[in-house]
């Protein structure tokens, strides 16, 4: 996994709530057996017209958001299915940070496996950030994960909370599986005990 | 300390807590389908890692499989490759796969209970959010992402943060034809699609105890639609009777040991929950969703709300957007909504009981003019059972299509889909924009409501039939 580095980037705005994973990556793109190449299908049904041309009314098609790495979006982002294709598409498109009030649990977990930082802010703060992006086309925010800071030109920045385990993994680009395998002895010990207590699971 | 069922399962599955890291939880059962697993197998191969416990895995093919002309090759080359990849991955790792030709094939969350693969007290995962279904057995069952699928294959564990607990207490008695589906939709309507975020829901109360195992599966299946990763129902005699004698259910001496363990899993009297929600089953009407989120739902006797009915600015805007997408006008009676296509099936409502009730409503009717109605059993076993009971004939005589099993129109990956502007009455679980086909308009309902709409061509209050 790519380590997450401090960066300054354009913030894009989607003033929508309950954006579900079917919108993030529609099901017709889930048939691929690879992890890559989903970015071009991100938000497909909103992003493109029926003839395949860009839908000029869709937020992310605005020129001012080109190259954005930060996505500011409404409540309960990523609800619905467990498809990791959603964060794969988001990362492949170029976003590495999302700012919202809340996320669906599975989506939230999936972000951390793909070097995406999903930041949680309160309703008022999200409102202020949305206003700043709306009023300042192409505004750039700084995200400093190490110091847990988001900095904005208009001073709407804040210190964010994040689980230390997840923070360290993001900063170092650590593979979770390798970390769990360091506990192989404990897992084997648990299994031995488990087999004795719950023999029917193993017969 | 008094514990909830969730806490008991959590405590018994805690492998290790390393300071500064998320607790590591042991996984008993790992369910798989073709869509969310290929990249996980690829990851294992690249890292030269092996599947730690192949016996913990049961796999099926369901999302991409055709529901008719199964003998023909899959026309879509990308879907075909995904199906073939699943077969190769299962073969090379020694996993139990019910492929398209297996008599055991079907939708993963329908197939798994049929074989008694999940028992009370287990931790069960699958790269699929509707894994919550298996909470009906008192198992902690939740959906995971593909990276986590890989993690579980390699380690048989998952780093997890402990969830909060929510008790959803439903007393009273459901009216005839109101079902587990209506309870699930009513809960989502009440607490919203983010209401259960961060929680595991335990469903309790008279109305829940009275539900069949199939009903409990429908209810827990939709815990995710209320934002909760998992739903739980305490195991009881119905659970044990359902499990007894199935392929993976313990037998003999192990049955007695298992039973004693299962009986101890029930939440302790006086155990504390972080959140409590109560509903009265007497007040739950048959439900119909009118919008593009499962929380946009109303009783069948209601009218479609107007944006100004919502105080919350975001909900008001969401209502306006939904009405626009759905091609509906505020204040229209739900029973005045005409439908084009009826779908009965999915991991929510694709079980034998669902087809029984739908057949009861369908018997002696004809599908309304201009309406297409398809019945897609959740598994070949459901199909076989329904045919033994003669249910297939009832549907076919009424003008329904009787298909082979699969996820089908629940998410429309296999070619079964709505066209732009088509409106469905669907027993599936999500009415998101485009879920059943780009531009398609989905109304989520129970099997009885779907069957009644097929005959009438619009929604009807089945209590009046």
Task: Report pLDDT digits (tens) over B188-219.
Answer: 999 999 999 999 999 999 999 999 999 999 99
Which residues face B294 on adjacent strands?
none
Maximum Cα–Cα distance for chain A, whole Å?
65
Predicted pLDDT at B228: 97
Q: What are phi and psi of B187, to 5 degrees?
A: -65, -45
Tens of pLDDT, residue by residue over B438-458, are: 999 999 999 999 999 999 999
**A31 in contact with chain B, both atoms CB, cutoff 8 A:** yes
Determine whether the interchain pair B129/A33 forms a contact, defined as Cβ–Cβ distance below 8 Å.
no
Is B241 buried (19+), middle (13-18) or exposed (0-12) by CB count in 10 A?
exposed
- Is A2's pLDDT higher than 90? no
Q: How far apart are CA B465 and CA B460, in angstroms?
A: 8
Determine whether the interchain pair B24/A180 forms a contact, defined as Cβ–Cβ distance below 8 Å.
yes
**Chain A residues touching residue B24 (CB < 8 angstroms):** 180, 183, 186-187
Whether residue B292 contacts residue B27, with contact meaning beta carbons closer than 8 Å, is answered with: no
Tens of pLDDT, residue by residue over B385-414, are: 999 999 999 999 999 999 999 999 999 999
In-domain check, residue A200: no
Mean pLDDT of all residues in A141-161? 97
In-domain check, residue A40: yes
pLDDT band at residue B143, thresholds of 50, 70 and 90?
A: very high
Map residue B180 onto helix, strand or coil: helix
In-domain check, residue A23: yes
Which structural domain range is residue A142 located in? Answer: 7-172
Tens of pLDDT, residue by residue over A83-118, are: 999 999 999 999 999 999 999 999 999 999 999 999
**A115 in contact with chain B, both atoms CB, cutoff 8 A:** no
- Is B87's pLDDT higher than 90? yes
Predicted pLDDT at B465: 85
Q: CB pairs below 8 Å between A and B: how many?
A: 181
- Is B20's pLDDT higher than 90? no
**Chain B residues touching residue A184 (CB < 8 angstroms):** 155
In-domain check, residue A74: yes
Q: How far apart are CA B383 and CA B401, in angstroms?
A: 13
pLDDT band at residue A1, thresholds of 50, 70 and 90?
A: confident
Determine whether the interchain pair B85/A33 forms a contact, defined as Cβ–Cβ distance below 8 Å.
yes
Q: What are phi and psi of A137, to 5 degrees?
A: -55, 130
Predicted pLDDT at A68: 98
Tens of pLDDT, residue by residue over B281-337, are: 999 999 999 999 999 999 999 999 999 999 988 899 999 999 999 999 999 999 999
Map residue A192 onto helix, strand or coil: helix
In-domain check, residue A190: no
Residue in chain A closest to B414 (alpha carbons) equals A28
What CATH number does residue A78 fall under?
3.20.19.10
Which A residues in the span 172-191 are in contact with B, Cβ-Cβ below 8 Å? Answer: 176-177, 179-181, 183-184, 186-187, 190-191
Mean pLDDT of all residues in B169-196? 96
Predicted pLDDT at B86: 97
Mean pLDDT of all residues in B258-280? 97
Closest CA to B363 of B355, B371, B352: B355
pLDDT band at residue B28, thresholds of 50, 70 and 90?
A: very high
- Token code pair at residue B281: 């089953």
**Chain B residues touching residue A104 (CB < 8 angstroms):** 194, 197, 227
- Is B145's pLDDT higher than 90? yes
Helices (H), B195-294: 206-209, 213-221, 237-243, 253-263
In-domain check, residue A90: yes
- A93 Cα to chain B: minimum distance (Å): 19
In-domain check, residue A54: yes
- Token code pair at residue B77: 């080359």
- Specify the range with the lowest mean pLDDT, choosing from B71-75, B165-169, B335-339, B384-388: B71-75
- Is B421's pLDDT higher than 80? yes
Tens of pLDDT, residue by residue over A152-177, are: 999 999 999 999 999 999 999 988 89
Mean pLDDT of chain B: 97
Count how many domains chain A has: 1
Tens of pLDDT, residue by residue over B93-134, are: 999 999 999 999 999 999 999 999 999 999 999 999 999 999
> CB B169: neighbour CB atoms within 10 A?
17
CA distances from A200 to A203, B29, B79, B308 (A): 5, 13, 37, 57
pLDDT band at residue B368, thresholds of 50, 70 and 90?
A: very high
Mean pLDDT of all residues in B73-78? 91
pTM score = 0.96
**A124 in contact with chain B, both atoms CB, cutoff 8 A:** no
- Is A203's pLDDT higher than 80? no
In-domain check, residue A181: no
């Amino acid at each position: 996994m790519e380590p997450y580095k401090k960066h300054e980037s354009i913030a894009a705005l989607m003033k929508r709530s309950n954006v579900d994973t079917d919108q993030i990556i529609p099901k017709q793109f889930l048939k691929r057996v690879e992890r890559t190449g989903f970015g071009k299908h991100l938000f497909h049904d909103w992003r493109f017209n029926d003839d395949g041309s860009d839908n000029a009314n869709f937020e992310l098609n605005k020129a001012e958001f080109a190259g954005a790495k930060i996505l500011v979006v409404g409540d309960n982002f990523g609800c619905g299915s467990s498809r990791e294709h959603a964060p794969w598409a988001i990362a492949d498109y170029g976003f590495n940070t999302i700012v919202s009030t809340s996320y669906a649990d599975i989506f939230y977990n999936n972000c951390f496996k793909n070097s995406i930082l999903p930041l949680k802010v309160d309703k008022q703060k999200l409102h202020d950030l949305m206003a700043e992006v709306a009023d300042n086309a192409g505004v750039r925010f700084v995200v400093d994960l190490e110091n847990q800071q988001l900095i904005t030109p208009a001073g709407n920045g804040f210190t964010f909370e994040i689980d230390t385990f997840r923070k360290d993994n993001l900063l170092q680009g650590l593979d979770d599986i390798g970390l769990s395998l360091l506990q192989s002895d404990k897992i084997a010990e648990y299994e031995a005990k488990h087999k004795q207590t719950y023999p029917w699971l193993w017969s | 300390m008094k514990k909830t069922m969730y806490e008991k399962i959590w405590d018994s599955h805690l492998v290790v807590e390393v300071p500064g890291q998320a607790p590591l939880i042991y996984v008993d059962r790992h369910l798989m389908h073709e869509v969310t697993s290929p990249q996980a197998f690829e990851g294992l191969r690249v890292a030269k890692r092996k599947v730690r416990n192949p016996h913990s895995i049961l796999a099926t093919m369901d999302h991409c499989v055709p529901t008719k002309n199964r003998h023909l090759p899959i026309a879509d080359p990308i879907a075909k490759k995904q199906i073939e990849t699943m077969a190769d991955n299962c073969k090379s790792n020694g996993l139990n796969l019910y492929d398209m030709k297996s008599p055991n094939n079907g939708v993963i969350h329908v197939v798994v209970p049929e074989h008694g693969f999940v028992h009370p007290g287990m931790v069960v995962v699958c790269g699929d959010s509707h894994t919550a279904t298996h909470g009906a057995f008192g198992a902690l069952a939740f959906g995971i992402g593909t990276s986590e699928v890989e993690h579980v294959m390699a380690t048989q564990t998952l780093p997890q943060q402990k969830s909060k607990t929510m008790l959803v207490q439903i007393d009273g008695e459901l009216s005839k034809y109101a079902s587990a589906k209506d309870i699930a939709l009513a809960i989502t309507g009440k607490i919203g699609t983010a209401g259960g975020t961060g929680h595991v829901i335990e469903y309790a109360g008279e109305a829940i105890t009275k539900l069949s195992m199939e009903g409990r599966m429908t209810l827990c299946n939709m815990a995710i639609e209320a934002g909760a990763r998992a739903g739980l129902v305490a195991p009881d005699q119905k659970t044990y009777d359902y499990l007894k004698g199935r392929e993976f259910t313990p037998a003999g001496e192990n049955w007695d040991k298992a039973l004693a363990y299962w009986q101890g899993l029930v939440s302790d009297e006086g155990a504390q929950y972080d959140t409590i929600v109560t509903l009265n089953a007497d007040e739950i009407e048959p439900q119909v969703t009118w919008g593009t989120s499962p929380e946009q739902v109303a009783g069948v006797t209601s009218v479609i709300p107007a944006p100004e009915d919502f105080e919350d600015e975001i909900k008001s805007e969401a209502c306006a957007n939904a009405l626009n997408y759905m091609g509906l006008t505020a204040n229209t009676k739900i029973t005045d909504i005409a439908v084009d296509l009826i779908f009965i099936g999915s991991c929510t409502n694709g079980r034998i009981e669902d087809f029984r009730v739908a057949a009861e409503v369908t018997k002696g009717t004809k599908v309304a003019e201009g309406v297409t109605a398809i019945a897609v059993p959740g598994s070949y076993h459901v199909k076989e059972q329904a045919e033994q009971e003669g249910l297939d004939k009832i549907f076919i005589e009424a003008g329904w299509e009787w298909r082979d099993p699969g996820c089908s129109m629940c998410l429309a990956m296999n070619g079964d889909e709505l066209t732009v502007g088509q409106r469905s009455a669907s027993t599936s679980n999500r009415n998101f924009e485009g879920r059943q086909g780009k531009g398609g308009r989905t109304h989520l309902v129970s099997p009885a409501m779907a069957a009644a709409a097929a005959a009438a061509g619009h929604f009807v209050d089945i209590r009046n039939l």
